[in-house]
Amino acid sequence: MHINVFCIAVFFILAIDLIQSQSYTAVQPGGGQRVHALPFQNGFYRIILRGNQTNKQFTIIEGVVYMNEGARLHYHMFEDEMFFVTNGTLQFYVDGDQFCAKAGTTVYIPRNITQSIRNINSKPVHVQILFAPSGRENFLEEVSIINDNPPINATLANQLALRYGQVNLGEVSSWKDLNCVHDSSTLLKLSFYLMFSMFLSLIFNADFF
């Protein structure tokens, strides 16, 4: 049985306040509060769990990162952050390192560590993000108003971010070409080769392997 690290982390955080909390929350697919989280036309995320639902232990959001979009370089002073990529492939920049995170990858980033994510050349990427402790939802609600009113006032957005402990640093100076794409063409070519070889072997009783 496969249990992802994201679910395990959420379980243990919930267990911390099990005695204090006597209620539960279930959010159905497509549920939660829609917010304009990123300064792009499609930069909408959903707040899935808020601090008032988790005894202020954490906040969970989820969203879709489209090609050539993603969070610019920044760091958080008040929260640790954890990503779980559910579909597609993201390229991460964390503390000077760059790497690909395909579906099923969990990335934990402590506070005060610089980070950025980008969908370099992949289909829309679905991601779940946990912030601990909670409070991130309040920033998202406020920045959503700014992002809903183009042209976006970057100065106002940066001031708001700083008030919530997020320091924005602009764009990553250079994204490396790590080929962060799930390339199915090789598998497809291999499948065609195998099927064609099997077809010939049936007709001519030949061994092509």
Strand partners, 97: 94
Strand partners, 116: 93
**pLDDT value, residue 10:** 59
**Cα–Cα distance measured from residue 186 to residue 194, given in angstroms and rounded to the nearest whole number:** 12
Both tokens assigned to 78: 């008040």
Q: What Å distances lie between residue 42 and 30, 45, 200, CA to CA?
A: 16, 9, 49
pTM as predicted: 0.78
Strands 73-76 and 33-36: unpaired
From first to last of its 209 residues, the chain has per-residue pLDDT tens of 555 666 555 555 555 554 455 688 999 999 999 999 999 999 999 999 999 999 999 999 999 999 999 999 999 999 999 999 999 999 999 999 999 999 999 999 999 999 999 998 889 999 999 999 999 999 999 999 999 999 999 999 999 999 999 999 999 999 999 999 864 433 344 444 445 455 455 555 545 44
Homologous superfamily, domain 5-178? Jelly Rolls (2.60.120.10)
**pLDDT value, residue 137:** 98
Helix or strand run (H / E) with residue 87: strand 80-87
Residue in the structure block whose two tokens are 């799930």: 182
Question: Which residues have C-beta within 8 Å of that of residue 61, sequence separation ≥ 6?
Answer: 32, 35, 37, 45, 46, 47, 48, 128, 129, 131, 136, 137, 140
C-alpha dihedral (36, 37, 43, 49), degrees to nearest 10: -90
**Cα–Cα distance measured from residue 102 to residue 85, given in angstroms and rounded to the nearest whole number:** 7
Strand partners, 95: none
Strands 89-94 and 33-36: unpaired
User: In 3D, which of 130, 121, 133 has the Cα closest to residue 178?
Assistant: 121
Phi, psi (deg, nearest 5) at residue 162: -65, -35
Name the strands in the sheet holding 166-170, side by side, starting at the edge strand that comes first in the sequence: 97-102, 89-94, 115-118, 73-76, 166-170
**pLDDT value, residue 19:** 43
Break the chain into its structural domains and give their ranges. Answer: 5-178, 183-209
